[in-house]
A and B are shown apart, each in its own frame.
Chain A
């Protein structure tokens, strides 16, 4: 077992443990911190896949900005421990088996599909240093219109958040 495998399994274990903690934790703040752990583990995996820029954006935007927003809202609303309400009996008995079934089904078909096999047997590209330059070239040539559209999207999101969160006193 070589080093990349060790790093992969270590990060995968951390990511899955973080996701399980998100599910099992009673306090929302614990779930939020577990999600930060998942995102950092995924950033390491992005580095291993040679996507340095995405790894940096993952840390800065996801683990930094978005999760800080979540933690901020949890603190602002003083969200304490989650209350359990068991109103649905179907969900109580069928939920867990069906969820596990879905999990296994997706994992099974993704690993068995033709594209998965081809990918597993094929050789992987190893060049990684030119990726960020190549990606930015792509972003500003081929994808320049979606890129500009996202700026409009963010503007609308800011306005929407302001309008929604504004307390109307009158």
Chain B
């Protein structure tokens, strides 16, 4: 069943990670920037699973599990911060949130 070389998965992971970095740098909306971080985490997860399969060691899958848990916690806290920022500034544009304190 599994005849696709693992290097294909790694290249796809690298492409997705690069696109995540590009989105992180290019996007101006703070929520979209946050989504770019999630995209990068997903790309890393794909590399983890591919390596776990290649070396036939399941530690990689356990790590992916932990990455997903941490990503969920991070999303909860991060979006709470986004809501707080929006309540204080009435904007989501990252260029207008360039000061820690007025």
Q: Which of B77-102 contact A (CB under 8 A)?
A: 77, 79-84, 86-87, 92-93, 95-96
B79, A57: Cβ atoms under 8 Å? no
B21, A102: Cβ atoms under 8 Å? yes
Residue tally, chain B, CB below 8 Å to A? 74
B18, A103: Cβ atoms under 8 Å? yes
B90: nearest chain-A partner, CB-CB? A77
Complex partner residue of B28 from A66, A85, A106, A119, CB under 8 angstroms: A85
Q: A70-B31, A73-B79, A76-B83 are in contact. Are A139 and B62 (CB under 8 A)?
A: yes
B72, A65: Cβ atoms under 8 Å? yes
Complex partner residue of A111 from B11, B17, B35, B87, CB under 8 angstroms: B11
Residues of A within 8 A of B52 (CB): 49, 51
A161 to B74, CA, bound (A): 10
Quote the shortest CB–CB distance from B18 to chain A (angstroms): 3
Residue tally, chain A, CB below 8 Å to B? 80
B53, A103: Cβ atoms under 8 Å? no
Quote the shortest CB–CB distance from B36 to chain A (angstroms): 7
Complex partner residue of B65 from A35, A49, A57, A124, CB under 8 angstroms: A57
Q: List 8 A-B contacts (CB under 8 A).
A: A23-B19, A39-B42, A58-B45, A70-B31, A110-B14, A116-B6, A138-B62, A167-B87
A112: nearest chain-B partner, CB-CB? B7
A45 to B49, CA, bound (A): 9
A102 to B28, CA, bound (A): 20
Residues of B within 8 A of A20 (CB): 19
**A169 within 8 Å of B (CB atoms):** no
Residues of B within 8 A of A84 (CB): 28
Complex partner residue of B80 from A51, A154, A164, CB under 8 angstroms: A164
One digit per residue, 1 when the CB lies within 8 angstroms of any chain A CB and 0 when it does not, for chain B 1-31 equals 1111111111111111111111101111101
A38 to B39, CA, bound (A): 8
Residues of A within 8 A of B75 (CB): 66, 69-70
Residues of B within 8 A of A110 (CB): 7, 10-11, 13-14
The 9 closest A-B pairs by CB, nearest first: A103-B18, A157-B73, A164-B80, A19-B19, A120-B7, A161-B80, A125-B56, A107-B14, A119-B6
B86, A120: Cβ atoms under 8 Å? no
Quote the shortest CB–CB distance from B10 to chain A (angstroms): 5
One digit per residue, 1 when the CB lies within 8 angstroms of any chain B CB and 0 when it does not, for chain A 129-153 equals 0010011001100010010001001
